[in-house]
Amino acid sequence: MLTDSDKKLVLQVWEKVIRHPDCGAEALERLFTTYPQTKTYFPHFDLHHGSDQVRNHGKKVLAALGNAVKSLGNLSQALSDLSDLHAYNLRVDPVNFKLLAQCFHVVLATHLGNDYTPEAHAAFDKFLSAVCTVLAEKYR
Ligand code: ZNH
């Protein structure tokens, strides 16, 4: 559970994240490079550096996270459709959610530098873990 102080930190991090609109795509690119097996979910995408498809997909993922940031009190509800999509249609193995979260942390650290304090990192990790849990909720 995110405490009130976690929520405050997540909001502060998010204000800085939105100054880097391509950071979703950067996290995806890092995911595909570091964990090449994740590319198998995107056989229909051009995954080369600078790909418009990855760029657009990064924006979608970031928008979904932005939506979640606005609903820190009820993530399950806010991400319900996305949870259905990943569990029933895409069938992404939930281990991959954690890998993407990890890549996202690295991208944030590179952009935010010293602003990405251990406290901010810890709070944002709780947030991303909560999002991953919701996305994995409907698998059976
Ligand atoms: Zn996912 C899709 C989000 C993770 C895979 N996604 C998607 C979308 C979104 C998302 C928003 C769009 C939808 C629509 O269009 O409606 N994801 C997300 C998030 C996360 C994720 C937030 C975390 C955090 N995913 C993931 C992973 C993977 C994936 C990890 C693998 C690896 N997704 C996916 C796919 C898709 C998606 C494959 C589809 C794409 C296309 O377009 O086709």
Q: Give the residue numbers of the binding site for heme b.
A: 57, 86
First to last CA, the chain: 23
Q: Which atom of ligand 1 lies nearest, measured to the CA of 63?
A: 11
User: In the 3-class helix/strand/coil scheme, how is 46-77 assigned residue by residue?
Assistant: CCCCCCHHHHHHHHHHHHHHHHHHCCCCCHHH
Tens of pLDDT along 7-53?
A: 999 999 999 999 999 999 999 999 999 999 999 999 999 999 999 99
Mean pLDDT of 113-136: 97
Alpha carbon nearest to ligand 1 atom 18, residue: 61
Interface predicted TM-score (ipTM) = 0.98
Crossing angle between the packed helical segments 52-69 and 23-34, to the nearest 10 degrees = 110
Locate 95 and state its tokens. 């281990």
Contact 65, 131 (CB under 8 A): yes
pLDDT at 61 (0 to 100):
98
- Is residue 83 in contact with ligand 1, taking CB distance under 6 Å? no
Domains of the chain with bracketed CATH: 4-139 (1.10.490.10)
Whether the model pTM is above 0.95? yes
pLDDT at 91 (0 to 100):
94
Tens of pLDDT along 70-101?
A: 999 999 999 999 999 999 999 999 999 999 99
